[in-house]
Amino acid sequence: MTDNPIYDNIDQLGQQTALPHSPEEAVLERVPNPHPDTDYLARFTAPEFTSLCPVTGQPDFAHLVIDYAPGDWLVESKSLKLYLSAFRNHGAFHEDCTIAIAKRLEDLLAPKWLRMAGYWYPRGGIPIDVFWQTGEPLKGLWVPETGVAPYRGRG
């Protein structure tokens, strides 16, 4: 793909890659942050995230928002897309999916700060929203609202 050795460990970008069968099988990749000395926010939004209810096998849908202040590493976006897609056939509760994604990113990237928001669509009449962050946002870091309205039904 490139002659730059810093990208030698990137195996999925620039080529056809099969969808992983499970989140555990999915390979998340990282690339060096070209601005590790600058505090900034990177946001990934997955408005059509899907997983399965571990009890009924019915599909669950969420709008995920991942915010992080990178340290030395950035998540490679294609690998993140494949990882999130691997949840399509994965059975887990809303809370487990949301927190597992956040913790895997935290382990991979060691960001200065990370926030995960999972806005789950209702099943059984109850929406479940799950939020987690690694601590207080960095001083002076611009952290916009997630842009996802709370669920209101038809009200």
**pLDDT tens for each residue of 100-120:** 999 999 999 999 999 999 999
Burial of 16 per CB tally in 10 Å (0-12, 13-18, 19+): exposed
**Where does 8-106 show beta strands of DSSP type E?**
30-32, 42-52, 59-69, 73-75
Under the banding of pLDDT at 50, 70 and 90, the label for residue 1 is very low
Q: Which residue would you say has higher pLDDT here, 3 or 34?
A: 34
Tell me which residues are annotated as active site: 53, 60
pTM, to two decimals: 0.89
pLDDT at 9 exceeding the cut of 60: yes
Structure token digits, residue 23: 């989140």
Distance (Å, whole) CA 69 – CA 132: 14
Question: 113 in helix, strand or coil?
Answer: strand
Residue-level length of the chain? 155
So what's the pLDDT on residue 113?
98
Mean pLDDT score, 48-73: 96
CATH architecture of 27-133: 2-Layer Sandwich (3.30)
Give me the residue spans of the domains in the chain.
27-133
- Residue (of 38, 108, 117, 31) closest to 77 by Cα position: 31
Dmax over Cα atoms in the chain, in whole Å?
56
Report how far residue 2's alpha carbon sits from residue 14's, in angstroms, rounded to the nearest whole number: 10
Q: Which residue has the tokens 């997983």?
A: 51
C-beta atoms surrounding 146 within 10 Å:
17
